[in-house]
Amino acid sequence: MQEQIKPGFHEQVQRKLYILTNEEQKILQKFGNEWFVTRLDGLKIGDRSEYKYALIKAPRNYQELFNFERELIIIFSDYESFQPRSTDAIDAVSDQLQDLRIDKICSIMLSKDDKIEEKIRDILKESQESQVIVPISYSEILNNHSDSYFLRNKFKTNFYTRDLFDFQSPLKKDLYFFGRSDIINKIVNRHFSNENSGLFGLRKTGKTSVIFGIQRALDKIGAKSILISCDDTSFQQRRWNKCLHYIIVEINKKYKLNLPLQAEDQYTEENASQIFAEEICKIYHIFQEKSILIIFDEIERITFNISSVTHWEKKFDFIFFWQTLRANFQKLNNVFSYLIVGTNPVCIEQSSIFGKDNPIFHSIPIEYLPRFDVPQTRDMVRKLGRIMGLQFEEIIYSKLTEDYGGHPFLIRQVCSLIHRLNNQHLPITVDRITYDKAKNEFDKNYASKYIEMMVSVLSEFYPDEYDLLEYLAIGDLNFFNQYAIESTEYTNHLKGYGIISQTRDEYDFKIDAVKQYLIQKNKYKKVNTTNEDMLNEISQRRNALEPKLRKIVRTQLKAKYGENQARDKLLLSFGKEEQKKYNHLAYKDLFDPDKVNIYFENLKNIIKKDWSTFEHIFSRKQEEFNLKMEAINKYRADAHAKQMTPDRMGHFRDCMTWIENHVNDFLED
């Protein structure tokens, strides 16, 4: 086996050492003792800032520890006080070299400032998307004479402790952005071909990150774009004609054009289209005839039948707004195009709105944000994991992709948990056992929170599609199949989101965690259950409700009357024999089912008798509360088993759900 060449300086570095001070040469030698130093040079940023930099290549031991494959940048910042702008030198070196061998995720910052570590930590707190920077002061590396693992431990401290998987917000930079270049290129090319686009997907699938990616791609070539967030009240609260003025103002503001624009009140319903055309043409000519991409994010917020704002939901604002944009798009050839981004393409698919033609019906190509395939999962997980001390066995990439349906956000959160569970033993190899342990923990304790974030948009805006998912999850296939045949657009949307798949006439979930979440949430919705199942459900739900009612009665009586008076009132709710039996007990013990026979019926009567204490919990609907509690008690399966019918079970579920919702809402506040 060929012996590895020893670390040290490349000839080019030897010839350039003169640009360094004596102490900087000593520092670089420390790296040369352990690394291959391949390049040394200087650069100037702006008029005043000058930096020296080196490139280092990892020897085998560092490759094994940190999976380094490319060269790292070292920046020498010889200013006495480190300033955040010095980190720009890293990007400047990377841009200057334009070399694929440079590692874009991690670099080393050397500084004369002894507080460099603290200052870099503050920078990274402010920007989660910053690359991994290993901060080392001149003094600490020069004064280290005994610790032969000094550099290695510096890398471990700054790499293994940072969780690069746990990104909750959309990604604004390229650094940690993976797997979406095809869709970005497709939309950018459509814009340059004077075509409009539509991009759709559930929350947390990365739509906003793709928007930022599209804008970065346009910025790199000097093209222009503006992002309009339809959930911004300053946009959605405006009428359709004033929204056109808003778009022009935002372009003017973003590119600091300082154009004298028409006042908003000039954008009347009669004149808005013409004035918009004139002003966007002015901007187009200032941009040297470069077309402008107008991006509308969260399109649901201004969509008919869905928006929470009346003039978009129930009036003709959607029609007039898109009539204007569509007409000007066609008339002003190549001046602007638009990209519509949201959850669901219903705004494009519905042919008529309130009896009028939909101006954008089938006029925009629809793209769903694609799920990750195994190579894309591997690229993301491997690159981020190597910096964090996680080396994944090859089989894990396919398991992650299959188990979480190629959903990048869920995949990252699982990997984040793997890091947290093993951060005391890094670096590690993530094998099947390690992965299965983390997966079980994630599915049990974390998945529901993230899946709720993903699918809540369906329950909010598209309840029919959400219902369809629920029925598929609980196995009510008769209802699901009937609905799927009658409303094929719903199943097409669900397939587009990447939640379900279809094989011939059979449907199934692509993300098992979504299925399990919906099963748990809707376990009491299943129809055609056996009599035994119905009786078990009644018993389970009453048994789960009873301790919650005990807690509410205990806390509310005490809050209103004080403990002593509340105790006296509670004792009066029992019979005389029970009053004597329980008279010696403390207030809290009167609610202990092991000490006191306080039943569902007792709790119901206490609330009814002192209704003013509890009415705010139950929407002040006393009669409805009484009827529903009576019905729940009537169906108490644990007292005397009955032959339940679907109608009676439906009545029980309606009553129980009403009580449960009010109780849970109160206890969660």
Q: Are strands 428-430 and 390-392 parallel, antiparallel or unpaired?
A: parallel
Structural domain containing residue 653: 531-668
Amino acid at the residue 439: K
Q: Which residue blocks in 67-149 are alpha helix, DSSP H?
A: 88-97, 116-126, 138-142
Amino acid at the residue 406: G
504-536 core/surface letters (b: 16 or more CB in 10 A; e: else): eeebebbbebbbbbbeebbebbbeeeeeeebbe
Tally the domains of the chain: 5
Residue 526, domain member (yes or no): no
Q: What local confidence, expressed as pLDDT, does residue 652 receive?
A: 87
Q: Are strands 224-229 and 506-509 parallel, antiparallel or unpaired?
A: unpaired
DSSP codes joined into one string, 392-422:
E-HHHHHHHHHHBTT-HHHHHHHHHHHHHHT
419 and 287 fall within a common domain: no
Residue 659 CA to residue 148 CA, distance in Å, equals 67
Q: Are strands 71-77 and 49-57 parallel, antiparallel or unpaired?
A: antiparallel
What residues have CB less than 8 Å from 130, skipping those under 6 apart?
87, 123, 124
Amino acid at the residue 346: V
304 and 185 fall within a common domain: yes
Residue 410, domain member (yes or no): yes
Residue 428 has pLDDT above 80, yes or no: yes
384 and 406 fall within a common domain: yes
624 and 664 fall within a common domain: yes
142 and 269 fall within a common domain: no
149 and 108 fall within a common domain: yes
Residue 169, domain member (yes or no): no
The two tokens of residue 438 are 């983390």
Residue 127 CA to residue 175 CA, distance in Å, equals 12
- Of 420, 445, 470, the residue that ends a domain is 445
Residue 416 has pLDDT above 90, yes or no: yes
137 and 279 fall within a common domain: no
Amino acid at the residue 98: Q
- Of 109, 129, 160, the residue that ends a domain is 160
Of 139 and 129, the structure prediction assigns the larger pLDDT to 139
Residue 298, domain member (yes or no): yes
Residue 127 CA to residue 145 CA, distance in Å, equals 34
Mean pLDDT along residues 36-54: 87
Residue 635, domain member (yes or no): yes
CB 409 within 8 A of CB 449: no
Mean pLDDT along residues 219-244: 96
218 and 314 fall within a common domain: yes
What residues have CB less than 8 Å from 503, skipping those under 6 apart?
none
Residue 529 CA to residue 646 CA, distance in Å, equals 9
pLDDT digits (tens, 9 = 90+) for 329-371: 999 989 999 999 999 999 999 999 999 999 999 999 999 998 9
- Residue 236: which CATH number? 3.40.50.300
Residue 274 CA to residue 108 CA, distance in Å, equals 55
CB 52 within 8 A of CB 42: yes
Distances (CA, A) of 172 to 177, 341, 387, 431: 8, 17, 20, 32
379 and 364 fall within a common domain: no
Residue 10 CA to residue 347 CA, distance in Å, equals 61
Residue 166, domain member (yes or no): no
Q: Phi and psi for 231 in degrees, rounded to 5?
A: -85, -5
39 DSSP β-pair partners: 55
Residue 346, domain member (yes or no): yes
Q: Phi and psi for 345 in degrees, rounded to 5?
A: -85, 25
Question: What does the DSSP 8-state code read for residue 511?
Answer: B
101 and 149 fall within a common domain: yes
456 and 572 fall within a common domain: no
Residue 1, domain member (yes or no): no
277 and 390 fall within a common domain: no
Of 488 and 223, the structure prediction assigns the larger pLDDT to 223
pLDDT digits (tens, 9 = 90+) for 559-588: 999 988 988 888 888 888 888 888 888 898
Q: Phi and psi for 390 in degrees, rounded to 5?
A: -115, 120
Residue 272 has pLDDT above 80, yes or no: yes
Mean pLDDT along residues 125-144: 86
- Of 426, 445, 464, the residue that ends a domain is 445
Amino acid at the residue 658: W
Residue 611 CA to residue 599 CA, distance in Å, equals 18
Determine if the pTM surpasses 0.85: no
CA angle 253, 259, 261 (to 5 degrees): 95
CB 507 within 8 A of CB 501: yes
Residue 436 CA to residue 434 CA, distance in Å, equals 6
**What is the rounded average pLDDT for all residues in the chain?**
89
Mean pLDDT along residues 246-260: 95
What residues have CB less than 8 Å from 463, skipping those under 6 apart?
none
pLDDT digits (tens, 9 = 90+) for 527-546: 667 888 788 888 888 888 88
Residue 508 has pLDDT above 70, yes or no: yes
